[in-house]
């Protein structure tokens, strides 16, 4: 059944879905990396595709920016389309000295300033955690790809332009690998509805050093991350 936000027929999604924030990145992944890719939904231009990678059926769909948007798509994919594995392939900002632009980081867990997990967890602190198997597969695929991906805690913020001037120092002190806007919510949705989720990000900017990647560099390094995510995802197809 189509949902308010996804217009695909039943069975259109593979059990494993790669999810970038940007729907155009979803299109790029489908057109560049998948064989036999077919567009299966485009409600609000949030494109979704299913195709094959090394003969394994996989889907890719954008989730938009921020936890509320990502949560809608993740929930509907799980409960209405039977999706079991959701792998966010995103970008993030770095705050640590030993994390650099173009690095790949994998979220073992995600801290957040969002209230969504408290809303679903009776007001208590839910430890938003990635699925171990998916995360292990991402880490192994990175190693096989000769990419030294760090694995650890992300920070998922509701505010890209954050008013808390002291936040960056705290994130540094607590060893946060990357600042992005969805992982904690995605891990919460997966836990609530019995699915598995993981998150891999390419560092697009360094918040402290004020370093940024060019669009062309982002494309090239995102390709590494996408290849790693596809190799991992194919094991769960």
Q: Is 107 in the site for ligand R1P (CB under 6 A)?
A: no
| Sign of the alpha-carbon torsion through 48, 199, 24, 160 | positive
From ligand URA, ligand R1P, none, interface partner of 135 (C-beta below 5 to 8 A by class): none
Which of residues 85, 91, 135, 221 is near ligand URA by CB under 6 A? 91
SS3 118: helix
H or E stretch at 36: strand 35-41
Q: Is 212 in the site for ligand URA (CB under 6 A)?
A: no
Give bridge partners of residue 94 from the DSSP assignment. 206
CA distance 168 to 158: 15
Q: Is 65 in the site for ligand R1P (CB under 6 A)?
A: yes
Nearer to ligand R1P, 151 or 183 (CB): 183
Q: Is 221 in the site for ligand URA (CB under 6 A)?
A: no
H or E stretch at 27: helix 23-33
Q: Residue 205 catalytic?
A: yes
* Annotated binding-site residue? 116: no
Provide CB contacts within 8 A for 108, sequence distance 6+.
Answer: 129, 130, 135, 151, 152, 153
Q: Is 93 in the site for ligand URA (CB under 6 A)?
A: yes
Tokens 């003969």 correspond to 55
Q: Is 22 in the site for ligand R1P (CB under 6 A)?
A: yes
Q: Give me the residues that bind ligand URA (CB under 6 A), please.
A: 91-93, 160, 179-181, 204-205, 207
Catalytic positions: 205
Interface residues with ligand R1P (CB under 6 A) are 20-22, 65, 90-91, 160, 180-182
């Amino acid at each position: 059944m189509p949902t308010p936000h996804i217009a695909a027929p039943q069975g259109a999604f593979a059990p494993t879905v790669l999810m970038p924030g940007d729907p155009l990145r979803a299109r790029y992944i489908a057109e560049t990396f998948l064989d036999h890719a077919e567009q299966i939904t485009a409600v609000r231009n949030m494109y979704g595709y299913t195709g094959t990678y090394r003969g394994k059926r996989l889907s890719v769909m954008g989730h938009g920016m921020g936890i509320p948007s990502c949560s809608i798509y993740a929930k509907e994919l799980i409960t209405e389309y039977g999706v079991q594995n959701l792998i966010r392939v995103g970008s993030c900002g770095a705050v640590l000295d030993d994390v650099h632009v173009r690095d790949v980081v994998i979220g073992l867990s995600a801290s957040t300033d969002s209230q969504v997990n408290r809303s679903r967890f009776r007001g208590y602190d839910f430890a938003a955690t990635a699925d171990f198997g998916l995360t292990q597969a991402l880490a192994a695929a990175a190693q096989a790809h000769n990419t030294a991906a760090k694995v650890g805690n992300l920070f998922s913020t509701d505010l890209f332009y954050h008013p808390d001037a002291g936040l960056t120092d705290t994130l540094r002190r607590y060893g946060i690998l990357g600042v992005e806007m969805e992982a904690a919510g995605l891990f919460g949705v997966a836990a609530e509805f019995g699915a598995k989720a993981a998150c891999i990000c390419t560092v697009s900017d360094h918040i402290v050093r004020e370093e940024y990647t060019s669009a062309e560099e982002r494309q090239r390094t995102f390709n590494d991350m996408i290849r790693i995510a596809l190799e991992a995802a194919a094991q769960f197809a």
